[in-house]
Amino acid sequence: MLKLRVKKWNPDRHCYEPYSYPDEWRVSFYCADMDELVNCACCGKELTYWGSFASKELYDGSGLFGMAVCPKCREAEWKRDKERRKNK
């Protein structure tokens, strides 16, 4: 599988920053087969694409599509976003 370029959104600086993940992870923002196994782009947990969520923080190289993340990491993203908004 081709290693995708992934960027992480920095909400404080309003810009994307480089993000790296292990070469053996299969990260994706799209799969034609919803039962395909992918890794969470955040923690690496293996799950079906069907069981993943689009990340609020990790994006493909163009910055348009959220990478597939597991429910636990997606929940953590929402909590960070909620806390950041509360502290503004």
Residue with tokens 């290693």: 3
pLDDT digits (tens, 9 = 90+) for 37-82: 999 999 999 999 999 999 999 999 999 999 999 999 999 999 999 9
* Count of CB atoms situated within 10 Å of the CB of 19: 17
Q: How much is the pTM?
A: 0.91
* Count of CB atoms situated within 10 Å of the CB of 43: 13
